């Protein structure tokens, strides 16, 4: 399969960027005109905000972060991925002190790929539910 195929690009993003925190891979995989349609407002829809989600929010809070890809479907230039991001809660997460518990965030996202780069992203995840559970603990 071609390395620019949407499935290959999606797998590379999940492994190298989310799991491994590789900034060079992130820069290589993000198109200059990238739009994250899942961001809460237009000011947060650029690539840098997506990087910060992983690098300054999740990575410091979750040790041994892993991405478990369960399914990947591709049609044309879009790839849908169902995955779970796991890690041990070792740093503050939205103001919640570390619990040492293993957290699991379920994610389904759709990404449009052009020339081997992410151009658009839509997604849903269970991070809010995970935070709510931590607040009750």
- Delimit the domains of the chain by residue range: 6-136
Q: For 70-125, how does the pLDDT look when each residue is reduced to its tens digit (9 = 90+)? A: 999 999 999 999 999 999 999 999 999 999 999 999 999 999 999 999 999 999 99
If one looks up domain 6-136 in CATH, what number appears?
3.10.450.50
The band of 129, judged by pLDDT with boundaries at 50, 70 and 90, is very high
B/e letters for 79-91, b = 16+ CB within 10 Å, e = fewer, are bbbebebbbbbeb
Please state the pTM of the whole predicted model: 0.93
**For residues 119 and 106, is the Cβ–Cβ distance under 8 A?**
no
């Amino acid at each position: 399969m071609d390395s620019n195929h949407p499935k290959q690009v999606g797998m590379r993003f999940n492994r190298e960027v989310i799991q491994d925190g590789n900034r060079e891979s992130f820069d290589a995989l993000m198109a200059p005109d990238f739009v994250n349609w899942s961001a809460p407002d237009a000011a947060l829809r650029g690539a840098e905000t997506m990087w910060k989600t992983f690098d300054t929010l999740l990575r410091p809070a979750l040790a041994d972060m892993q991405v478990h890809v369960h399914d990947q479907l591709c049609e044309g230039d879009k790839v849908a991925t169902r995955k779970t991001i796991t890690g041990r809660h070792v740093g503050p997460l939205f103001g919640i002190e570390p619990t040492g518990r293993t957290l699991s965030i379920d994610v389904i996202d759709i990404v449009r790929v052009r020339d081997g780069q992410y151009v658009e992203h839509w997604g849903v995840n269970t991070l809010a539910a995970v935070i709510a559970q931590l607040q009750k603990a």
